[in-house]
Amino acid sequence: MEQSFLIKPMLDESYPVIDYGKGVYLFDMEGKKYFDAASGAVTANIGHGVQEIIEAMNEQAKKVSFVYRSQFTSEAAERLANKIAEMTPGDLNWCFFVNSGSEATETAMKMAIQYWQEKGIQTKTKVLSRWVSYHGITLGALSMSGHPVRRARFTPLLEDFPAIHPPYCYRCPYKLEAPSCGYLCAQELESAINRIGADKIAAFIAEPVIGAAGGAIAPPKDYFKVIKEICEDHNILFIADEVMTGFGRTGTMLACEQWGIVPDIVALGKGMGAGYAPIAAALASEKVMEPILAGTKSVMSGHTLSANPQSCAVSLAVLEYLEKNEIMKEVECKGVYLRNQLEKLKNQFTFIGDVRGKGLLLGLEFVGDRDRKTPFPRKTMITQKIISIAKEKGLLIYPAGAGIDGVNGDSIIISPPLTITKREIEELALLLKESLEALS
C-alpha cells in the first residue's frame, strides 16, 4: 500500500486491511481468515455481517440519517429508549444516548453530580472508583479509571478518583478467600467515604466484571450487595459501568442482574451497536431523574450526534436480533463450555495462572511461577507475544491487565460473539492451544 496518513495505534507497524466479516470470522484483503475471539474489543456481540442489522441500517438511511437532538427526536431513538427501559431491571427507565463508552461514563458522572445539585446539595461532586478499572479515555472517564498505564501521561489533568482495591480474588491484598474474608475490599469503600466525607461524594462507579484493566475479573457472590448497601447507607449513588458487560455479554441484559443489584445509573456502550454503528448510553433510574425533572428539566450534557437515528436503528435491530434468536439464554451454557476448554489449557500450560470471568467474558492471567503467582518480568512482554502469535495463526484475542501497581497482571480476554456455536468454541480453543504451544 502507498504511504498512509491514518494514525493507527502503532505508527511503525503495518495492519492487515480487512475486506469483510461473516459470523465469528474476519477476512483480510489477502484472503487470510481471522477468528474474532474477542468480538474486536468485546463489541461485535452478534458477529459480523448480520443481514437484519444491515437491512435496518438501510431502511433508516432511506428515511433520515441525522436529526439534531435539541430540534427533533426520531422514531428509532424513541423506540430504542423504550425497549431498553423494558429490558433492564428496576426502574432504569431513562436513557441518554451518546456515541462511545467514555461519553457514557462521563454522562453518568455528570448526571450523579446534577442529581445532588438539583436536591440543593452543591458539595457532592466526587465520584469514587476502584483501582484496576477502566472507564474510558476522555479526561473525566480517565480520572475515574484505576489504570496506571493509561493515566500516566495525563496525571496533572486528572482528579484523584480511584480509592479502593478491586475484588481481585486471585491477588487478594488481604491474602484471604471469599466469603470468609468478609468482603474487606468492599468494606474499604466505607473507610474511603469516612475519610473523604460523604458530603463530598456524589457516586461510586464500578465495572460489574473488570475488563481491560484486569482481564475479566468477576467479583465473589455478595460483593456488590455489600457495595450497594454501603452506598445507600451513606447517600451515595451507585453507577454500574456496563459498557463491556451490558447487552447480554454475561447472559443477562445487565451483568448486575447476576447478583440481584439494580444500580442508580448505568453506562452502556460497545455491544449496544455491536460494532455496526457507534452508540452508547447513560441510563438513569426514576429516583435520579425525579429532582432533575422537577428542577432544571434538562440533563446538562449532550453531543452533536447524541441519539443519532441511524445508530439508534442499529441498536434497536441488535436488541431485536438478541431477543428473536434467544441469544442471551444460551450465553451461560456456552460460557461454561468455553471455560472448560480454557481450564484444560491451564492443565497443559503452567504459565496460565488463572481462568476467570462470567458468561462469555472470560480471561486468562499468565504467570512466571504458578505457585507463587509471580508475574513475568516486564521485558518478557508475554501478553503482547501471545497476542501476536495468535494473530499470526488467525486468532484474535484482547490484551488486558495493568494491575494495581501497573506491573502485575498479564491477562487476555476471550469474548467471542454471543452467537458462537459449540463447534466454533472447539475451533477457538484449538487455535489458542496451538498459539500457546508456539510460545512454550
Distance separating alpha carbons of residues 305 and 67, to the nearest angstrom: 8
d(CA 8, CA 294): 46
Near ligand PLP by CB under 6 A, which window of 52-60, 97-105, 290-298, 431-439?
97-105
- The stretch near ligand PLP (CB under 6 A) out of 135-143, 169-177, 323-331, 366-374 is 135-143
Place of cell 458539595: 123
d(CA 70, CA 64): 16
- The least distance separating ligand PLP from the CB of residue 55, rounded to whole angstroms, comes to 25
Going residue by residue from 22 to 61, which x/- string records binding to ligand PLP, judged by CB under 6 A? -------------------x--------------------
250 binds ligand PLP (CB under 6 A): no
**At a CB cut-off of 8 Å and minimum separation 6, what does 138 contact?**
102, 103, 106
CB closest to ligand PLP, residue no: 101
Q: Name residues contacting ligand PLP, limited to 217-246 (CB under 6 A).
A: 241, 243-244
Residues 274-333 that bind ligand PLP (CB under 6 A): none
Would you state the cell numbers that stand for residue 384, as one nine-digit string?
503482547
Nearer to ligand PLP by C-beta: 42 or 80? Answer: 42
How many residues sit close enough to ligand PLP to count as binding (CB under 6 A)?
A: 16
Q: Is 214 in the site for ligand PLP (CB under 6 A)?
A: no
Q: Which position among 25, 35, 134, 247 is part of the footprint of ligand PLP (CB under 6 A)?
A: 134
Starting from the edge strand earliest in sequence, which strands make up the sheet with 280-284, in order?
A: 94-98, 280-284, 265-268, 237-241, 201-206, 126-130, 162-164
Pick between residue 102 and residue 411 the one whose CB is nearest to ligand PLP: 102
CA distance 432 to 389: 10
Asked if 351 interacts with ligand PLP (CB under 6 A), we say no
| Coil vs helix vs strand at 281 | strand
CB of 240 to ligand PLP, least distance (A): 10
As measured in angstroms, the least distance from the Cβ of 45 to ligand PLP is 13
Secondary structure (DSSP) of 311-377: HHHHHHHHHHHHHHTTHHHHHHHHHHHHHHHHHHHHHH-TTEEEEEEETTEEEEEE-SBTTTTBPPP
Beta bridge pairs of residue 20: 27
Q: Which stretch binds ligand PLP (CB under 6 A): 2-10, 100-108, 282-290, 332-340?
A: 100-108
User: Cα separation of 342 and 426, whole Å?
Assistant: 10
Binding site for ligand PLP (CB under 6 A): 41, 100-102, 105, 134-137, 207, 211-212, 241, 243-244, 269
